[in-house]
């Protein structure tokens, strides 16, 4: 049966389920139910509904690559493009497995920002020189190799999140 | 010899062109799809870009593997070993490529 991806409104329980799963997606329906004081069947039904409507895109695993022994470098490419070709460039970039995220941004010039991983600097350069620079419409590329990760989190779910909340400097 | 000159002087596909970078991953927006364009770009691009590519052996690799000119690749390799920098490097590289370009053009003209 084909499910229509119509927007649905989430109630308080839905948000709480999402928050619980964002903390730990491996927990069972029963564990989530116990945590929120509802039956596991309710959790199942709510999750099914949110999966069918595409609110939950997937359940995944966050791997610590260093501990897994996978040596790699991460870099952020900022690509300045001809505006007529930017969508094509973004689509083609998105097809590469080593390109993890692709965004477009309009500042003074039309930019594509992409996060890319490679085994080492030599392979990173080779990828950019042979696979990215030749795309029609690529005007310039600036690449920053990430040397230290200070924070990486998913967007926190919730109905009323205060994104402008500031840290009190006096504390 | 004429066939060889013609092949070396041809215009290559976009994906086979030489793309100029200033450092790892930083493309400066200049490319060359033939030996003629390559010599022109050598005059235009920043010496830092030339140093970056020469030290990595990128020029000789492209000239040999894409254009198919092992002789010119060898001459560029000799330049690399001289550890030239700045405008001196730019001038020597430009003259080396121009000299080879003129040789190949002469070969082609003499065959007509």
Taking each continuous run of H as one helix and of E as one strand, the counts in chain B are: 6, 2
What is the reported pLDDT for A78? 96
| Same domain assignment for residues A135 and A77 | yes
CB A42 within 8 Å of CB A31:
no
d(CA B82, CA B80): 5
In a domain, A81, yes or no: yes
Residue A92's domain comprises: 73-145
In a domain, A68, yes or no: no
| Same domain assignment for residues A32 and A91 | no
| Closest by CA position to B9, among listed B80, B76, B103, B75 | B103
CA dihedral in degrees (B57, B59, B62, B65; nearest 10)? -60
- Confidence category of residue A6, pLDDT binned at 50, 70, 90: low
B14 touches chain A (CB under 8 A): yes
Interchain contact, A141 vs B15, CB within 8 Å:
no
| Same domain assignment for residues A94 and A136 | yes
In a domain, A31, yes or no: yes
User: Which carries the bigger pLDDT value, residue A65 or residue B104?
Assistant: B104
CATH code: domain of residue A43: 1.10.10.10
For the ranges B2-6, B14-18, B48-52, B69-73, which has the lowest average pLDDT? B2-6
Q: What is the pTM of this model?
A: 0.81
Q: Looking at chain A, which residue has its C-alpha nearest residue B13? A: A134
The pLDDT tens digits of the residues spanning B11-63 come to 999 999 999 999 999 999 999 999 999 999 999 999 999 999 999 999 999 99
B49 contact partners, CB below 8 Å, separation of at least 6: B20, B21, B22, B28, B30
B15 touches chain A (CB under 8 A): yes
| Same domain assignment for residues A85 and A136 | yes
| Same domain assignment for residues A79 and A43 | no
* Residue A107 DSSP class: S
Mean per-residue pLDDT, A81-97 = 94
In a domain, A162, yes or no: no
Percentage of chain A modeled with pLDDT above 70: 89
d(CA B5, CA B15): 22
What is the reported pLDDT for A2? 45
Q: How many CB pairs under 8 A join A and B?
A: 40
Q: Which of A133, A141, A146 to mutate to test the interface with B (most CBs of B within 10 A)?
A: A133
What is the reported pLDDT for A24? 92
The pLDDT tens digits of the residues spanning A108-151 come to 777 999 999 999 999 999 999 999 999 999 999 999 999 988 98
In a domain, A106, yes or no: yes
Residues in chain B within 8 Å Cβ distance of A142: 25-26
Look at strands A138-145 and A73-81 and give their pairing.
antiparallel
| Closest by CA position to B23, among listed A147, A145, A80 | A145
What is the reported pLDDT for A61? 87
What is the reported pLDDT for B1? 65
d(CA A158, CA A24): 16
Q: Is B27 exposed, middle or buried (0-12, 13-18, 19+ CB in 10 A)?
A: buried
Within 53-112 of B, beta carbons closer than 8 Å to A belong to none
Total domains present in chain A: 2
């Amino acid at each position: 049966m084909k499910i229509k991806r119509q927007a649905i409104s989430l109630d308080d329980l839905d948000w709480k389920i999402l928050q619980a799963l964002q903390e730990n997606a491996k927990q069972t329906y029963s564990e989530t139910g116990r945590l929120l004081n509802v039956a596991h069947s309710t959790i199942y039904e709510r999750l099914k509904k949110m999966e069918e409507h595409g609110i939950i895109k997937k359940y995944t695993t966050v791997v610590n690559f260093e501990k897994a022994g996978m040596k790699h470098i991460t870099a952020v490419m900022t690509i300045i493009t001809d505006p007529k070709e930017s969508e094509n460039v973004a689509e083609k970039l998105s097809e590469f497995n080593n390109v993890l995220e692709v965004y477009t941004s309009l500042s003074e010039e039309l930019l594509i920002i992409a996060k890319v991983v490679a085994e080492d600097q030599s392979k990173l350069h080779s990828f950019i020189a042979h696979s990215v620079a030749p795309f029609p419409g690529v005007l310039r590329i600036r690449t920053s190799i990430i040397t230290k990760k200070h924070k990486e989190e998913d967007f926190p779910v919730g109905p009323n999140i205060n994104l402008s909340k500031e840290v009190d400097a006096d504390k | 010899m004429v066939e060889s000159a013609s092949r070396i002087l041809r215009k290559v596909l976009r994906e086979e062109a030489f793309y100029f970078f200033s450092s790892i991953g930083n493309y400066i927006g200049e490319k060359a799809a033939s030996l003629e364009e390559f010599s022109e770009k050598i005059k235009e691009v920043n010496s830092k870009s030339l140093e970056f590519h020469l030290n990595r052996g990128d020029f000789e690799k492209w000239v040999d593997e894409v254009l198919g000119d092992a002789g010119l690749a060898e001459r560029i390799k000799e330049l690399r070993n001289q550890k030239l920098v700045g405008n001196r490097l730019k001038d020597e590289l430009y003259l080396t490529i121009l000299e080879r370009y003129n040789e190949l053009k002469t070969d082609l003209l003499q065959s007509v």
